[in-house]
Structure 1
Amino acid sequence: MEQAEERKLISRAKKGNDEAFTALFQKNYMFLYKYLIKLSLDPSLTEDLTQETMLKAYVHLPNFKGDSKFSTWLISIASRVYIDHQRKEKRERKRFEKARDDATRKVKWDISMGGHEWTEYMSQFAELDPDIRAPILLRHYYGFTYPEIATMLNIKEGTVKTRVHNGIKQIRKEWS
C-alpha cells in the first residue's frame, strides 16, 4: 500500500470511518500475523494476539501521530501485547507452582500425622504433572491394565503407556 493511500485511510479511520480501519486491518493482517507467529510459535496464540493487537490499535488510533509507518506502530503494539502475555503466563505458572507446593506440604503433614512416612519417592511422584501421575498411580499402585486406564481417563492406550513410561523415566532420572 502506498503511504499516501495509507495516510488517507488512517485519517478517515481516525474520524470514525470503520471501513477505512477495516481496510488498514486487511492490508496489515498477514504482516502482523507472520511477525507474531515467529514470536510465539503457536498458531492459536498468534490468532488471539493478532486480534488483541488490532483491537488496541482501533481503540488507540487517535494516538497514532504518523511519525512512522502504520505497520511499525502495529508491531510495537503487538510486541507489548506479546510481552504482557508472557508476563501473565509466568505469573500464572508461579501461582500454580505455589498452590501445588502448598498442597504437597499439606499432604506431607497429613501423612506424617497419620503415622506414615513421606519418602523421597513420594516427593518425586508429587513433582510429576497430573496427566502423568494419574496413569502411573492407576497402573503401579492400583494394578489396572493399560486398556482399563485408557477407558477411565478417556485417552488412547498408547498415550497411557507413553505417560507411564515417561513418568517412570523422569523419576529414575531424578534419582540418578
Structure 2
Amino acid sequence: MQVPDLWLVQKAKNGSMAAFETLLSRHSRRVYNLLLRLSGSPTLAEDLTQETFLTAYQRLPDWRGVGALSTWLCGIAVKHHLAARRKIHFTEALDEHEDLAADLSSDPLARYTQHEAKQALDTAINTLPTHYRDVFVLVRVQEMRYREVAELLDIPLGTVQSRLAQASVLLQRALSHSTEGLPQKGTKRHVL
C-alpha cells in the first residue's frame, strides 16, 4: 500500500529528507511532462522541474493539504514556466524520442503510424500560440479542471473555455494537413 502524500508532507515538514525524496520521485515525472509540453524543450523542462521542487521544498509549510499535492506542484511548475517564458524565446522542438507504449502491436506499420501521429500531435501542440497551448496542455493533457487552470493562469473561466475551443480548432486543422498521406486504418498501402 502506498503511503499517502499528506503523511509524507507532514514528515517532510518535520525535516525528513527521505519523505521529500519519496514525494519527488512520485511526482517529478508528471511535473516534467507538463513542463515539456508547455515549453517544448527537454532541457528547459528539466531545469524548471528542479526549480519547481526546490520551490515546493521551501514552501511545503505553506501547503494546506487542500486538494491534491500534484495539483499544487503543477501550479508551481506553471508559474515557473510563465516566468521563464517572459525571459526567453522557445525554439526547441518537443522531444521526439519518447518511448512507444510497450503494448503496441508488433506490426511495424502500426507502430510507425502511431509514432507519426504522436509526432504530428506534438508538433501541432508546439505550434499553437502560447496562450492557447498553455490552456490546452493543462486541461487536455494534465486533466486539470477549468477553474484550476483559470486560477493558475490568472484568467477568467470563460477565457479558459474559449482558448481551449480555439486550440482544438487549430489543432484539428493542423492535424488534418499533417496526417494526409499516412495509411488509414483498414486501408492497404501498395508498395512498389
Give the TM-score, by structure 2 length: 0.44
Give the TM-score, by structure 1 length: 0.48
Look at both structures and tell me which one has the larger radius of gyration over its CA atoms. 1
